[in-house]
Amino acid sequence: MHCGRINCVCTHTDGCVKGFIHTRYVDRKELIKNGEKKVVETWYDGVLFCPTCDPERAHIQNTSRSSEEMTQRLRERSSLKSSDYYDKEEASKTRTL
């Protein structure tokens, strides 16, 4: 299924569905119980941004160290945030005499 982006060159195959790639990942925790070391694996379903459909979001996802950092970085790239940042920058350059 197509992601809906204009001029997208992605073939939307190999797992890409509307710009997202479904994945599974594991979280491993080591526990010591009764003197025995055990590894507990928890599997999660998730999605990755398709690097062909949206390379900027995919880069942010791949380089973020936590989900909180990724969320913040993705919010900062929104057009609303960009205009707020521009307004703050311009306000800091303007001074009243």
Residues 6+ away with beta carbon under 8 Å from 70: 60, 61, 64
pLDDT at res. 95: 59
- Average pLDDT for the chain: 82
- The tens digit of pLDDT for each residue in 34-54 reads 888 888 999 999 999 998 888
- Give the CB-side neighbour count of residue 86, counting CA atoms within 13 A: 7
- Does residue 80 share a domain with residue 49? no
| Residue 58 falls inside a structural domain | no
- The tens digit of pLDDT for each residue in 3-18 reads 778 888 888 877 888 8
- Does residue 71 share a domain with residue 40? no
Which residue range is the domain that position 83 belongs to?
Answer: 64-97
- Asked if 39 and 84 touch (Cβ cutoff 8 Å), the reply is no
- Does residue 45 share a domain with residue 88? no
The pTM score is 0.63
- Does residue 81 share a domain with residue 42? no
